[in-house]
Structures are given as C-alpha cells and as structure tokens.
Amino acid sequence: MLTADRLKLALALAIAAAGIGAYYYLGDKPQIVRVLVLFAGFAAGAVIALQSDLGRAAFGFAKESRAELRKVVWPARKETIQMTGVVIAMVIAVALFLWAVDWVLTVLVKLLTGQGA
C-alpha cells in the first residue's frame, strides 16, 4: 500500500476517533447534537477512506455483495413459517429428551449413592 493511502486511512481513522471523542466531550449538550457530531465524524472519515485504494476496493466489494444479495431466492412466507415451526418442535423434543435423560441419571445416581431411599 502506498504511503499516501496509508496517510488517508490514518487520517480517516483519526477523524472517526475524533467524532467519538467529541460525542463524549459534548456530554452536557443535547443528545441530538452529540449524535450528529458522531455521525459527521464517521461520515467525514468514510469520505476520506473512500479516496484510498483500499477504500475504493471495499466500496466495490460492498456494491458487488449487494448485487449478489438481490440474486438470492428467498423462501416464501409460508415456507419460512413451516420451517420455523419444525425448528421449534425439534428444540422442544430435544429439550424433553435431555430432561428425561437427566432425570433418569439423577435417579440412578441417587440409588447408587444411597440417597434415594
């Protein structure tokens, strides 16, 4: 990575950190002012970071990821509800099985140690 890119990334990080610092420094100001200052710091840092090669590559990756996300075929609502029901039923079944195994082992241990009589 070139020195100029490193400098841009360091500056972007410093500005974002300054936004965080300003958020806490302005503790006596209204919450909306503090949040706006925080967002402004992050936005300025992001704009500067996007000027570097790494920032442009990250932005391109995010754009491509969003395009791929649009290609995904999401399940229909009915299928989602049915599968959620199956998962919940299996969780309950496994929980009951583990409870039964625990109960049996507890009874056996009490009988073996003489505490169950």
Q: Which residue type sits at 112?
A: L
What pLDDT, in 10s, does the model give residues 74-106? 999 999 999 999 999 999 999 999 999 999 999
pTM to 2 decimal places:
0.57
Q: How far is 104 from 93, CA to CA, in rounded Å?
A: 17
Asked if residue 47 lies in contact with residue 16, where contact means CB atoms within 8 angstroms, the answer is no
pLDDT tens digits, the chain, 117 residues: what are they? 578 889 999 999 999 999 999 999 999 999 999 999 999 999 999 999 999 999 999 999 999 999 999 999 999 999 999 999 999 999 999 999 999 999 999 999 999 998 865
Q: How far is 110 from 30, CA to CA, in rounded Å?
A: 62
